[in-house]
């Protein structure tokens, strides 16, 4: 099975960047050589991770990184998106941990040697535990600790990085981590989510300013995830419910960055759920981006509710992936077009898109045609959005390889490369070959 796009597609050009993505906690292991982070602590708690696993070894990338760069190179991608583990490069006293820094310097140098562009995310959820002990993202000081970390690490990495993202998916850190409590640090309560979100956005803005100073030649921005909200019926009550959900989960993170304000929904939230906004915060948060990273996996459907702003309706009788997310490529093109209509966007990179599938390895092969179909339909959706005028410059598959899928542990596989966690042997899946062949046919 092949992946292909219409002949005239802009994505068939070598000017369009294709890559693969990972994140530090999900692949590195090497837990003894760094400070503990909130995910280490969360994994140790009963009942938080479905298979009771943790990130102690993960894909052992800390030892296998050279082989992994060869693997990335063998796929023929233009770029690799990775994240820096804050607790690996910073010590308790806030100064640099040189051996951790050296790990990334060597990795980035090897990628550069292979002519692979480096897209570095500075925070993909692994907050040092000692900062959580002081309140984590509920504490405004964490935003300034992030600023200091960004200052030190970007100076240390010099000109090795083509693109920096401050944060990955602040929605997940804020809502899943401090409101729903299903991600680290596992804090639950409606009064916390928007407070955490505000400090994350502040951290982003402070980070952007440091990047402009320390790394003016890289493309600097942020990665946001979107799960477009659809009404269950075309009743006005359901439509309003879906709009509110969209504001609460999606627009909440992009609007302050683009427009310097939260959605009006803020006025409908009880005072105790409001963020703690200081004068001048929005000027910092709305610092100009060089690019916006967008992650898309699925949509969500909402209906009206008597006591809440909205109620999510779980997918029923629709195609889903192994993690239960509806396969809805149309939502992807709609999302991109609607963001482009709503905001004056900088250039867009699709920084994550992909699918968990119940892969079976047989005779050293994984024939994941369902994942190939997912990629095909979602690449078509990106292409549609480009044809409708959205300025999209690149696309990253999530993920390079199977890895620690947060609360799902190792039970969900998102890789285009299969990982046998017993032997750490990597096997390129059929989707990996399809992606490779598609990328390498470009002219």
Active centre residues (catalytic): 169, 352
Establish if 406 lies at the interface with ligand FCB (CB under 6 A): yes
Measured CA to CA, the distance from residue 72 to residue 78 in angstroms comes to 9
Establish if 359 lies at the interface with ligand FCB (CB under 6 A): no
* Tokens at 307, concatenated: 């006591």
Establish if 172 lies at the interface with ligand FCB (CB under 6 A): yes
* Tokens at 319, concatenated: 């195609």
Task: Output the smallest distance, CB 442 to ligand FCB, in A.
Answer: 26
Name the segment binding ligand FCB (CB under 6 A); options: 10-18, 283-291, 398-406, 435-443. 398-406
Nearer residue to ligand FCB within complex by CB, 169 or 246: 169
Asked if the bond preceding 434 is cis, omega within 30° of 0, the reply is no
Torsion 384-390-396-398 (CA) sign? negative
Q: Which of 78, 126, 169, 246 binds ligand FCB (CB under 6 A)?
A: 169
Q: Look at strands 311-313 and 300-303 and give their pairing.
A: antiparallel
Q: Which residues contact 96 (CB under 8 A, 6 or more apart)?
A: 89, 90, 152, 153, 156
Task: Output the smallest distance, CB 141 to ligand FCB, in A.
Answer: 25
Quick check: 206 and 147 in contact, CB under 8 A? yes
The interface with ligand FCB within residues 272-301 (CB under 6 A) comprises 295
Write each residue from 22 to 41 as x if it is in contact with ligand FCB (CB under 6 A), else as -, in one continuous string.
Answer: -x--x---------------
Nearer residue to ligand FCB within complex by CB, 120 or 241: 120
Count residues near ligand FCB (CB under 6 A).
Answer: 12
Q: Which of 405, 428, 431, 439 binds ligand FCB (CB under 6 A)?
A: 405
Measured CA to CA, the distance from residue 380 to residue 121 in angstroms comes to 26
SS3 for 20? strand
Burial class of residue 260 in the structure, from the number of CB atoms within 10 Å of its CB (0-12 exposed, 13-18 middle, 19+ buried): middle
Establish if 396 lies at the interface with ligand FCB (CB under 6 A): no
What is the distance, to the nearest Å, from the Cα of residue 10 to the centroid of all Cα atoms in its chain?
24
Write each residue from 211 to 250 as x if it is in contact with ligand FCB (CB under 6 A), else as -, in one continuous string.
Answer: --------------x-------------------------
The interface with ligand FCB within residues 42-81 (CB under 6 A) comprises none
Quick check: 4 and 442 in contact, CB under 8 A? no
Task: Output the smallest distance, CB 256 to ligand FCB, in A.
Answer: 20
Distances (CA, A) of 391 to 240, 290, 340: 29, 13, 9
Nearer residue to ligand FCB within complex by CB, 26 or 142: 26
Q: Which of 332, 374, 375, 414 binds ligand FCB (CB under 6 A)?
A: 414
Establish if 84 lies at the interface with ligand FCB (CB under 6 A): no
DSSP 320: B
Nearer residue to ligand FCB within complex by CB, 126 or 238: 126
Could you give the angle at which helices 98-113 and 141-157 cross, rounded to 10 degrees? 50
Q: Which of 352, 359, 368, 384 binds ligand FCB (CB under 6 A)?
A: 352
* Tokens at 290, concatenated: 């060089």
User: Which residues, in sequence order, are bridge partners of residue 352?
Assistant: 295
Nearer residue to ligand FCB within complex by CB, 352 or 384: 352
SS3 for 395? strand
Nearer residue to ligand FCB within complex by CB, 120 or 286: 120
Residues of the shown chain interacting with ligand FCB in the complex, contacts defined by CB under 6 A: 23, 26, 168-169, 172, 225, 295, 352, 398, 405-406, 414
């Amino acid at each position: 099975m092949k992946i292909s796009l219409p002949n005239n597609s802009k994505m068939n050009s070598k000017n369009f960047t294709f890559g693969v993505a990972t994140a530090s906690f999900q692949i590195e292991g090497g837990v003894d050589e760094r400070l503990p982070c909130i995910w280490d602590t969360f994994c140790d708690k009963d009942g938080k991770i479905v298979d009771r696993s943790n990130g102690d070894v993960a894909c052992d990338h800390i030892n296998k990184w050279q082989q992994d760069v060869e693997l990335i190179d063998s796929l023929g991608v233009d770029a690799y998106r990775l994240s820096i583990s804050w607790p690996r490069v910073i010590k308790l006293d806030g100064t640099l941990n040189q051996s951790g820094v050296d790990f990334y310097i060597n990795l980035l140098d090897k990628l550069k040697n292979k002519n692979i562009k480096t897209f570095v995310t500075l925070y993909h959820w692994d907050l040092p535990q000692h900062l959580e002990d002081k309140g984590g993202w509920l504490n405004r000081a964490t935003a300034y600790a992030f600023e200091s970390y960004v200052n030190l690490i970007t100076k240390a990495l010099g000109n090795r990085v083509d693109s920096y993202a401050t944060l990955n998916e602040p929605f997940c850190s804020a809502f899943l981590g401090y409101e729903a409590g299903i991600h680290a640090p596992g804090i639950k309560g409606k009064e916390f989510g928007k407070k955490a979100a505000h400090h994350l956005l502040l951290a982003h803005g402070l980070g952007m300013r440091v990047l402009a100073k320390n790394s003016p030649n890289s493309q600097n921005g942020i990665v946001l995830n979107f799960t477009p909200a659809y009404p269950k019926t075309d009743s006005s009550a359901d439509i309003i419910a879906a709009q509110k959900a969209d504001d609460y989960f999606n627009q909440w993170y992009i609007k302050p960055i683009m427009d310097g304000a939260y959605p009006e929904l803020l006025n409908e939230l009880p005072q105790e759920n409001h963020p703690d906004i200081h004068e001048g915060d929005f000027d910092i948060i709305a610092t100009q981006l060089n690019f916006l990273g967008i992650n898309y996996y699925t949509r969500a459907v909402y209906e009206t509710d008597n006591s809440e702003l909205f109620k999510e309706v779980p997918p029923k009788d629709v195609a889903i992936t192994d993690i239960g997310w509806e396969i809805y490529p149309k939502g992807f093109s709609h999302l991109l077009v609607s963001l482009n209509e709503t905001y004056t966007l900088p250039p867009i990179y699709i920084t994550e898109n992909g699918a968990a599938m119940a892969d079976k390895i047989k005779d050293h092969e994984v024939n994941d045609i369902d994942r190939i179909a997912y990629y095909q339909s979602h690449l078509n959706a990106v292409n549609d959005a480009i044809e409708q005028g959205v300025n999209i410059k690149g696309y990253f598959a999530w993920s390079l390889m199977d890895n620690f899928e947060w609360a799902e542990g190792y039970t969900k596989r998102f890789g285009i490369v299969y990982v046998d966690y017993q032997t750490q042997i990597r096997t390129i899946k059929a989707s990996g070959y399809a992606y490779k062949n598609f990328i390498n046919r470009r002219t």
